[in-house]
Structure 1
Amino acid sequence: MTRHAWLTVARREIITKLTDRAFIVGTLALIGILAAALGVQAYVGSRASEYAVVTSSAAAERMADAVKVAAEGADDKTTVTLATAPDDAAATQRVRDGDADVWIREGTDGWVLTGKEEVPGDLERVATSAIRDATLSENASAAGTSVEALARGSEVTTAVLDGDADKAFIAQAVGFALAMLFYLASFTFGLALANSVVEEKASRIVEIITTKIPVRQLLTGKVAGNLALAFAQMAIFVAVGLVGLSFTEYDRFLPAVSGAVGWFVAFFVVGFGLLACLWAVAGALASRTEDVQSTSTPLTMLTMAVFFAALLAEGSLKVVLSFVPPFSAVLMPIRVLEGSAPWWQALLALGLLVAAAAGVVAVASRLYQRSLLQTQGKLSLRQAWSTPE
């Protein structure tokens, strides 16, 4: 019976949290924000663009045809409708009335795109390129040469060392999301765990509880309960994110992202368990709720360090920290996502994290057990370590 008492403690932690309105509302709000952000991305990526272009001369008509071909060829969701006005005044009036988005006309030295308040950026970029190419072609023909000959050797392309630009963007965005999830879970559930411990200690309820079950079982149950809650919340966020990603233009990266998320789940469970034990110790060292802020300060700084390292660490520092617990809980999955870490490095980092977690659990168990029933005031780590059982 006593051997499985931790299950009762874990169940109590879960039920207490699930009946907390603030927790439920906060979780639903974060899900809503994530879903909305992905929904906007999906909407923007799938939205069709329609532009109306008016001209008032034969030369402008030919140029508008080139713009139409270029715009619709570059994006199958773009449609350009052409119209002809009898003169410049009529073309201007169409733009003023909103019947046309852009008036294409010849200027004193080139071509002019005129809009009512602004020229749509996408159309401006395509039109600029199309008009330049068409003009170069005409000039080259007049000079007895070709555009290809004039432009030979002037092409500029871009490349990245690791994958393409879209993959780099997805790796950065998902990496930030994973780091944020780990930070929020560690800080939110960890602080709640510390406060729960000190509240039971301050009210002397813990003295009654420990007469029925061992202190180690109490610690195990509290960590397990909060780990289950944090994991469930994280799994919901990740599921919403992956489903949302499938509706965006980046859906081709789902296999790579899913593989990295699998590693993140494994690292999350071990890393959160490590930090949760330390948060429980922070609560046990305090005698009042007010003391938790000071007893948990080193842990708060460590959690923030992990988060900022995931955002800012680069190069060799990033590689080294991806093997150092608890930084590896976030950095190694990010490196897997970026494609810079093979599976054996991830497995090695996970093994080191498990070993570190085992050591932390042993130390935290002693500190928790020897400080939990001390109610005379806030304890230091040295005092807790040397206090007899």
Structure 2
Amino acid sequence: MRSTVWVTVARREIVTKLTDRTFLLSTFGLIGLLAVVLGVQAFMANRTETYTVVTSSAPAAQMAAQVELVAEATDDKVSVTVTRAADDAAATRALRADEASVWLHEGGDGWLLTGKADVPDGVETFAATAIREVTLGANAAAAGTSVEELVRGSALSTAVLEGDAEKAGVAQALGFALALLFYLASFTFGYALANSVVEEKASRIVEIIATKITTRELLAGKVLGNLVLAFGQMAIFVAVGLVGLTFTEYDRFIPAISGAVGWFTVFFVVGFGLLACLWAVAGALASRTEDVQSTSTPLTFLTTGVFFGALLATGTAKTVLSFVPPFSAVIMPVRVLEGSAPWWQALVALVILVVAAALVVQVAARLYQRSLLQTQGRLSLRQAWSTPD
């Protein structure tokens, strides 16, 4: 029976939260919001852009046909349709009536692309490419040479010394998402845990509970229950995000992302457990619900610091913080995703985090045990530590 007491406490914490309408509405609301955001992104990424180019002369029609060919060869999600107007006035009327996206016609020493209110960037890019290729070919023929000869040696390629720029962008976005998940889970469930402790303390229910189980078992059950809830919520968010990512152009990064998410899961469990113990102590130090805001202020700053540290730290500072608990709970998985941290560094950071969590649990258990039954007022850490068992 003694070995399952803390499980009973954890089950009570879970059931209480799962029957809380506010918790359920906020969770499903965030899931819905995430699904909508990913759905819109997937729709935009897979949507075919259609442009209609109107011309009013034979040379312009020929050039527009080249624009259509360039667009089809460059982007399979872009469709260009060419129409012919009887004259310039008819082309202008088609443009004003939104029957065409742009009007391609001769203008000065070259070509002119006219839009109603603006010229879409996509069609402008394709038109510029087509006109340059056609004009370059004509000029080369007039000069008695070839396009290949004219452009020889002008090719420009790009390269980076470290990493992949697009992958780095995905890593940055995912890093923000993981940091936000850890912050929301730590703050939301931590604050709820602290309030739960102080409510039981203020109502004297904890005195009845303490006659049946030890305060350490009560602490273990509360931390475990909230850890299960936080992990479950986080897992749902991550699963929705990964599924949504498969419908976007970034789906090729999912294998690399999955590895980083695996590391984040392990770090999340240990890091959240560390902070949850401290949140429980914040609740035990208070005697009224109003006191929790004061006793939890250091934790609020710490949790916020982890969030902004993960977002703002760079270079050496980021490397160092990736080994410092609890910052490592977020920063190290992000470094793994970026490719700047090998697996052994992640393992070392995890061992350090586990050791730190074990020490925090010991300290938190003592503070929790010695302050939980003290109802004479808000306690300081020194008072709680020196209070006899």
Q: Does 1:40 align with 2:34?
A: no
Gaps in structure 1 of 5+ consecutive residues: none
Q: Does 1:70 align with 2:75?
A: no
Q: Is the 8 A contact 1:264 1:330 kept in 2?
A: yes
CA-CA distance at 1:71 after TM superposition: 0.8
Structure 2: which amino acid aligns with 1:20?
D
Q: Is the 8 A contact 1:246 1:254 kept in 2?
A: yes
CA deviation string 1:105-140 (max 9, x = no partner):
111132211122222221112212222232233233
SS in 2 for 1:103: strand
Q: How many residues align?
A: 389
Q: Which moved more, 1:36-45 or 1:115-124?
A: 115-124
CA-CA distance at 1:153 after TM superposition: 4.1
- Where does residue 60 of structure 1 map in the other structure? 60
Structure-2 separation of matches of 1:356 and 1:145: 73
- Where does residue 212 of structure 2 map in the other structure? 212
CA deviation string 1:54-73 (max 9, x = no partner):
11122212221221111111
Structure 2: which amino acid aligns with 1:53?
V
CA-CA distance at 1:155 after TM superposition: 3.7
- Where does residue 221 of structure 2 map in the other structure? 221
Q: Does 1:109 align with 2:109?
A: yes
Structure 2: which amino acid aligns with 1:47?
R
What is the CA RMSD across the aligned residues, in angstroms?
A: 1.3
Kindly tell me: are residues 78 and 335 of structure 1, through their superposed partners in 2, closer, same or farther at Cα, counting changes over 3 Å? Answer: same
Structure 1: which amino acid aligns with 2:241?
G
Q: Which moved more, 1:217-226 or 1:199-208?
A: 199-208
- Where does residue 84 of structure 2 map in the other structure? 84
Q: Is the 8 A contact 1:159 1:165 kept in 2?
A: no
Q: Is the 8 A contact 1:367 1:384 kept in 2?
A: yes
Structure 2: which amino acid aligns with 1:239?
A
CA deviation string 1:177-200 (max 9, x = no partner):
111100000000000000111111
- Where does residue 11 of structure 1 map in the other structure? 11
CA deviation string 1:175-226 (max 9, x = no partner):
1111110000000000000011111111111111101100000000000000
Q: Does 1:137 align with 2:146?
A: no
Structure-1 separation of matches of 2:5 and 2:37: 43
CA-CA distance at 1:23 after TM superposition: 0.3
Structure 2: which amino acid aligns with 1:107?
G
What's the TM-score once normalised by structure 1's chain length?
Answer: 0.97
Q: Which moved more, 1:115-124 or 1:20-29?
A: 115-124
Q: Is the 8 A contact 1:189 1:230 kept in 2?
A: yes
Structure-1 separation of matches of 2:130 and 2:317: 46
SS in 1 for 2:281: helix
Structure-2 separation of matches of 1:290 and 1:144: 88
Equivalences for 1:215-364 in 2 at 5 Å? Answer: 215-364=215-364
Gaps in structure 2 of 5+ consecutive residues: none
Structure 1: which amino acid aligns with 2:78?
T
Q: Which moved more, 1:144-153 or 1:172-181?
A: 144-153
Q: Does 1:119 align with 2:119?
A: yes
Equivalences for 1:171-210 in 2 at 5 Å? Answer: 171-210=171-210
Q: Does 1:366 align with 2:369?
A: no
- Where does residue 100 of structure 2 map in the other structure? 100
SS in 1 for 2:201: helix
SS in 2 for 1:326: coil
Structure-2 separation of matches of 1:31 and 1:46: 22
CA-CA distance at 1:29 after TM superposition: 0.7
What's the TM-score once normalised by structure 2's chain length?
Answer: 0.97
CA deviation string 1:303-362 (max 9, x = no partner):
011101111111111111111110000001001111111111111111110000000000
CA deviation string 1:155-186 (max 9, x = no partner):
44333344333211211111111111000000
